[in-house]
Amino acid sequence: MKKCRITVMKMARYDDLIEKYENPIAHACDMQPGRIFIANGWQKPEGLCDSAWESMSALG
């Protein structure tokens, strides 16, 4: 499997959509713009939050 570099470009939080479509959470992912993760195939990189990974992968 090939490796894939994932770079955090922007963080956004839409409380109105979270309230309408998800279980409200007190604290979302701890990401900072510019942070880089390396995915090894379809394995979630260490430190990448589940919500972000599910949004990008076939699991979501």
Residues 6+ apart with CB under 8 A from 34: 7, 8
> Average pLDDT over the chain, rounded to whole?
82
Domains in the chain: boundaries = 3-56
pLDDT band at 37 (very low <50, low <70, confident <90, very high): very high
Higher confidence at residue 26 or residue 19? 19
